[in-house]
Chains A and B, each alone.
Chain A
Amino acid sequence: MPPDVEAVAEQVFVALADPTRRTILAALASGGPATATDLAARLPITRQAIAKHLALLAETGLLTAEPGERRRVRYRLRSAPMQVAQQFLAALARDWDSSLEALKDLLDGRNTPQ
């Protein structure tokens, strides 16, 4: 297995573990690309704190920084690392135990509707 997937998933989970970063990521997911100023107007977080988190998230590859209006940097969510984290969660959520229990029940004539 390439070592990168582990590192990418870790960056996503570390980012999501912090409530402020979670709020910023959620705002970018729901509202699309935004500058630190845009986000400061919408969120109960100081512009300075937002700018610091945005820079860190861009550095770890979770956001891309692109030129916005009035020479302000606009940040955009990168879906690729989120999808790697999603794959990790998909494995955790993949409930073979319940499916196999249902199969056993079916074979034993205890067919419980799902």
Chain B
Amino acid sequence: MGFPDRIERTVEVAHPPATVWAALTTAEGLSAWFGNQATIDLHPGGSARMTWTGGETANMRIERVEEPTVFGFTWHIYGLPDDDPRRTYVEFTLEPAGAGTRLTVVETGFAQLPEDVYRKAFDGNTEGWASELGELVAYLDAA
């Protein structure tokens, strides 16, 4: 498939998982490498926010917190309207590798369909159902 739905990167880091975990999941860590400022409420369902000096903001919803191996969140797809429900899921996985850590980041969900494309794609089905329901109503009325 040509549409890039999934991005995956793995890097080896010369620090133990606990150190990497802190860089990924604390406001201090995130603001030092990812955003310019960060806040984070670290539990599933909690929110995190990063801002950049250029004025951009990213609002994240924390999904998985399994210290110190899995950290996952969803965020908005860049360039879509703010009220668009589509979000990508980002998951960091930390595995010990010698004295360091093998860090994998996977971001998925770029190929989600917007609702009205769904509607267009499934219009045929919907019409089918509408006529089936019409027949059902006629059947019930006749009974």
Contacts and interface: CB of A to CB of B under 8 A. Distances in A.
Interface residues of B, number: 40
Contact of B114 (A84, A88, A105, A114): A84
Contacts of A91: 4-5, 7, 110
| Contact residues on A (Cβ < 8 Å of other chain), bracket | 20 to 34
Interface stretch (A18-26, A67-75, A94-102): A94-102
Given A92-B4, A114-B36, A5 B111 contact: yes
Interface string B23-62: 1100001001110100000000000000010000000000
A1 B5 contact: yes
B33 A106 contact: yes
A6 B86 CA distance: 17
B121 A108 contact: no
B78 interface: yes
A44 interface: no
For the complex of A and B, 5 pairs with smallest distance between CB atoms: A91-B4, A91-B110, A102-B33, A106-B33, A86-B79
Interface of A: 1-2, 4-6, 8-9, 61, 80-81, 83-84, 86-94, 96-97, 99-100, 102-108, 111, 114
